[in-house]
Amino acid sequence: MPAMSSRVSNILYLLAGAIAVAAVAGVLALSSDHTPNPAVAQTTPSPSTGEPASVADIYRRVSPGVVYIAAGDGSGSGFVIDRDGSIVTNDHVVGSSQQVSVRFGEQSDPIEGKVIGTDPSTDLALVKVDPSDVEGGLKPLQLSTSKDLAPGEPAIAIGSPFGLQGTVTSGIVSALNREIQSPNGFPISGVIQTDAAINPGNSGGPLLDGDGRAIGVNSQIATNGANANSGVGFAVPIDTVKQVIPQLERNGKIARAYLGVSTSEAPPRDGALVREVTPGGPADQGGLRPGDLIVELDGEAIRSPSDLGQTVLARKPGGTVDVVVQRDGDRQTVKVRLGDRPDQVPDQQPLG
């Protein structure tokens, strides 16, 4: 089982989504194309100025836009983001399916949904339904931003844990900028941690703020062995959704930059410590070595492996970057031409 970081190696990380899916892992990375999608952007509200809403009020308002998704032998959750029928869910919920069954409300009949695109590196997928098939019309969720979140803020999850559609749980944002593994084995950075109860079947459903706006997509849970909630869940930030979904709508997939290293933290120093270098990969060809401490990439400070992952994935394959490292007590700059990320991490190969 993949570990979130070198500091937590005895905890398992499970996909919190498709009930029939075996325990593995899954979640984040920034895309290289930042073109906004008007259909998504128009759902982003201005900051709330009223009194905090109750969880019951938020549930009544938001739950009509949260759906149950069945794909193959598994199931999960999803939520509507525009009036054109766009639904966000997890890559591991839809799997290899091209068509899925979508249900709005426990009493409604399932309708057909088409899988428009998937991105295993962020564990996100885009599903479309015909708005005319939805009884009562579509009710998109409002999208907030994840960049201004702080630990301790309210967090509310709505989804279908164990197939129980329309379940709501609440808690707080427990931590930010966590790093876990995506379904294709690469690390995902910048993940939101929450103690709102998330269980198998919650994957793809929204994590909401205290105003009922989506701040993330529930994706994983941490467990000591039981396939159930232990108070540590993870969600893909909504800012990543806003970057990834428009590209999936246009192209069905995303080309991502690849450095070819595995790294860890090196306290008390800031930076990303290179543990392994993929033989023949971009970092290897550029001259990076195990033991190098990466502290800067193209002028951006690297304080952690999470910083490195997000900085690399904000660039395009084929571009050359200046990587500043601490090596043998000296500060050196190494030029690396970024490659194309493979579809899957090869066995026993570095992740970054």
Q: Could you read off the pLDDT of 329-347 as tens digits, one per residue?
A: 999 999 999 999 887 775 5
Classify domain 257-340 by CATH architecture: Roll (2.30)
**Distance between CA 248 and CA 41 in Å, rounded?**
15
Was domain 12-251 assigned CATH 3.40.50.1980? no
Q: Is 262 a catalytic residue?
A: no
| Structure-token match 């999850």, residue found | 157
The whole model's pTM is what?
Answer: 0.77
pLDDT recorded at residue 255: 87
Domain ranges of the chain: 12-251, 257-340
Cβ atoms of 286 and 335 closer than 8 Å: yes
Name the phi and psi angles at 157, rounded to 5: -115, 135
CB 183 within 8 A of CB 203: no
Q: What integer pLDDT is reported at residue 20 of this predicted model?
A: 35
What are the phi and psi torsion angles at 17 (to 5°)? Answer: -110, -105
Task: Give every residue of the chain whose pLDDT is below 50, as ranges.
Answer: 1-12, 18-49, 348-352
Q: State both tokens at 33.
A: 């194309």
Query: What pLDDT does 237 receive?
Result: 93
Amino acid identity, position 190 = G
Q: Is 203 a catalytic site residue? A: yes
Do residues 180 and 191 make contact, with C-beta atoms less than 8 angstroms apart? yes
Three-state DSSP at 63 gives helix
Mean pLDDT (the chain) is: 84
CA distance linking residue 244 with residue 131, whole number of Å: 22
123 is catalytic: yes
For position 29, what pLDDT does the model report?
26
Active-site option among 82, 123, 195, 211: 123
Q: Which of 203, 219, 230, 306 is catalytic?
A: 203
Please report, for residues 29, 204, 288, 332, the alpha-carbon distance to residue 282 in angstroms, rounded to integers and kept in the order given: 19, 33, 9, 17
Residue 1 CB partners (closer than 8 Å, separation 6+)? 12, 13, 23, 24, 25
What is the rounded end-to-end Cα distance, in angstroms, of the chain?
17
